[in-house]
Every structure is written in C-alpha cells, then in structure tokens.
Amino acid sequence: MLLAAAGLVNSLMYNWVSLIIPVALLVLVYVLYKYPPKRYRKGPKIKPSAKTAAKMAASQRRSSAASQGLPGGKRKSYPFQVIDGQKGKNDDDIPKFH
C-alpha cells in the first residue's frame, strides 16, 4: 500500500497530465449517474389500444364504486368450497415433530 501511494504521488508530481483523462471520465460518469438526461429518466411511452383503454376505464369505475360502497363493489361468489381431507380432525393428538 505504501508503494502504491508513493507511485501515485510520484505520478501526480511529474506526470499529472496523464491523469486528466481518467479523472475527467470518472467525473463525467458520476455526473451522468447523478443527473441523467431527461430522455432516460422515464420509461418508454406506450399508447394502449382502444380495447385496453376501455378495460382500464371500466376497472377504474368499478374500483371507485367499490370505495364508495355502491352496488358495483360487491364481491363475487365463487362456486368453490373447502373439502376436508381423509385424515380426521382430532385436537387431542400431539404433533409428531416435538
């Protein structure tokens, strides 16, 4: 580490012009990272089709109706039910992994 520091000091004292390009590149990369150009800040704009726009508008209307407590906000009832397995339920059984 001491030799590396001595070499850096030596190159700064006698050949500082050769360090301008790497330092300028580091500064440029940092500035571009910290403040990117406007065209790279946002994602690409994609125009939705008319069908997709209609679906989005309908879902927004439904979600706003649900938040206001209107009839459009009811939950759907699905025809699914939980079926108990073949092993009977017995609360007195001690688990096998204690």
Residue-wise DSSP of the chain: -HHHHHHHHHHHHH-GGGGHHHHHHHHHHHHHHHS--HHHHSPPP-PPPHHHHHHHHHHHHHHHHHHTT-GGGPPPPPS------SSPP-TTPPPTT-
Per the confidence metrics, is the pTM higher than 0.75?
A: no
Mind listing the pLDDT tens digit of every residue in the chain (98 residues)? 999 999 888 887 887 777 788 889 999 999 998 888 877 666 657 777 888 888 888 887 766 555 555 455 567 777 888 777 777 666 566 666 65
